[in-house]
Structure 1
Amino acid sequence: MSSFGKFIKKIRLEKGLSQEDIAEKMDLSVSSYSKLETGKVDPTLSKIEKLAGILEFDLGEYAASLKVEQHSGTEDPDASDLYRFVNRKEYKDLISKLEGLERIIQNLAVNN
């Protein structure tokens, strides 16, 4: 199962939705949606955006989940699918922005 597939399955289950529910909202067959979750097919950007709307997540959440995976030390990032949807530079830029936002939030919490 791909990292993205695990990610969307986790969110789907947390929301108490079935594969049928998501497939219907995406106008896909259950079989086609299942292939996204199991990593048998890679989603297009438009499908990722549609899933994000349906499951109410943003790509920052997915990137953060990859960061946690990366820091777990169980996988070499170059050998995984970390860069499946974005290239290495875009991924690093995104992580840098997320870290900057984390610092801003921490500063706001301290100052309030």
Structure 2
Amino acid sequence: MIIATPIDPEGRSAHSWGKAQWIGVADVRDGSVADWTVHEVRWDESHDAGTHGSHHARVVRFLKEQQIEAVVVDHVGDGMARTLHTMGIPTLQSSPGYAQASVLAALRGHHL
């Protein structure tokens, strides 16, 4: 399962999805992270650079390109929550600490 989560420079869970600077993408297999890639998306800079629609389009493009199946995050805005729901991408609650551990904890709490 391919999971995306916002991260900080040290690899810990970051607060916001739509204003993330970096997104970690985990390929989770058999209960562990088989692959981990960090993408510098700079959504923190692009968030207010245009309309919400253009920003959501950037996020959607990333989700499709990375074949994301779920998002682990502390917070998403209402519009982004609707976008993720429409795409069939569940949003799971992140936990403090290292993002890879947060992804695994979120998956243990849900059967996707």
What's the TM-score once normalised by structure 2's chain length?
A: 0.32
Higher gyration radius (CA): 1
Select the structure that is richer in strand.
Answer: 2
- Bigger RCO of structures 1 and 2 (CA < 8 A, at least 6 apart): 2
Structure with the higher helix share, 1 or 2: 1
* TM-score normalised to structure 1 length: 0.32
